Chain A
Amino acid sequence: MIKARVTVTLKNGVLDPQGKAIEGALGALGFDGIGQVRQGKVFDLQLETADKAKAEAELKAMCEKLLANTVIENYSISLA
Chain B
Amino acid sequence: MKSAVVQLPGLNRDRDMIAALTKISGKAPVTVWQTETEMPDVDLIVIPGGFSYGDYLRCGAIAARMPVMQAIKAKAEQGVRVLGVCNGFQILVEAGLLPGALMRNASLKFVCREVKLEVVNADTEFTRAYAKGQVIRSPVAHHDGNYFADAETLKAVEGNGQVVFRYAESTNPNGSINDIAGVVNDRGNVLGMMPHPENLIEAAHGGSDGRGIFASALDVIAA
Q: Which of B120-174 contact A (CB under 8 A)?
A: 146, 148-150, 153
Interface residue range, chain A: 10 to 19
CB <8 Å contact, B106 and A17: yes
CB <8 Å contact, B108 and A72: no
CB <8 Å contact, B108 and A17: yes
- The stretch among B41-49, B97-105, B178-186 that forms the contact with chain A is B97-105
Question: How far apart are A68's CB and chain B's nearest CB, in angstroms?
Answer: 9
A46 at the interface (CB under 8 A from B): no
B223 at the interface (CB under 8 A from A): no
CB <8 Å contact, A15 and B108: no
Which residue on chain B has the smallest CB distance to residue A14?
A: B148
- A contact residues around B62 at 8 Å (CB): 66
Q: Which of B21-35 contact A (CB under 8 A)?
A: none
CB <8 Å contact, A13 and B150: yes
CB <8 Å contact, B103 and A72: yes
CB <8 Å contact, B101 and A15: no
CB <8 Å contact, B103 and A66: no
Complex: A71 Cα to B104 Cα, angstroms: 15
- Using known A-B contacts A14-B148, A18-B108, determine if residue A71 contacts B101 with beta carbons closer than 8 Å: yes
B19 at the interface (CB under 8 A from A): no
Complex: A15 Cα to B100 Cα, angstroms: 13
Q: Which of A21-74 contact B (CB under 8 A)?
A: 21, 65-67, 69, 71-72
CB <8 Å contact, A66 and B61: yes
- B contact residues around A15 at 8 Å (CB): 103, 106, 146, 148, 175
CB <8 Å contact, B65 and A66: yes
CB <8 Å contact, B175 and A72: no
Complex: A69 Cα to B99 Cα, angstroms: 12
CB <8 Å contact, B105 and A65: no
Complex: A7 Cα to B65 Cα, angstroms: 21
Q: Which of B48-65 contact A (CB under 8 A)?
A: 57-58, 61-62, 65
- Using known A-B contacts A65-B65, A66-B57, A69-B58, determine if residue A17 contacts B146 with beta carbons closer than 8 Å: yes
Most A CB contacts (10 A, CB to CB) among B65, B93, B103, B106 go to B103
Beyond A17-B175, A69-B58, 12 additional contacts (C-beta under 8 Å) are A14-B103, A17-B104, A17-B106, A17-B146, A21-B108, A66-B57, A66-B61, A66-B65, A71-B100, A71-B149, A71-B150, A71-B153
A sample of 24 cross-chain residue pairs with beta-carbon separation below 8 angstroms, ordered by A number, consists of A14-B103, A14-B148, A15-B103, A15-B106, A15-B175, A17-B103, A17-B106, A17-B107, A17-B108, A17-B175, A18-B104, A18-B108, A21-B108, A65-B65, A66-B61, A66-B62, A66-B65, A67-B57, A69-B58, A69-B61, A71-B101, A71-B153, A72-B101, A72-B103
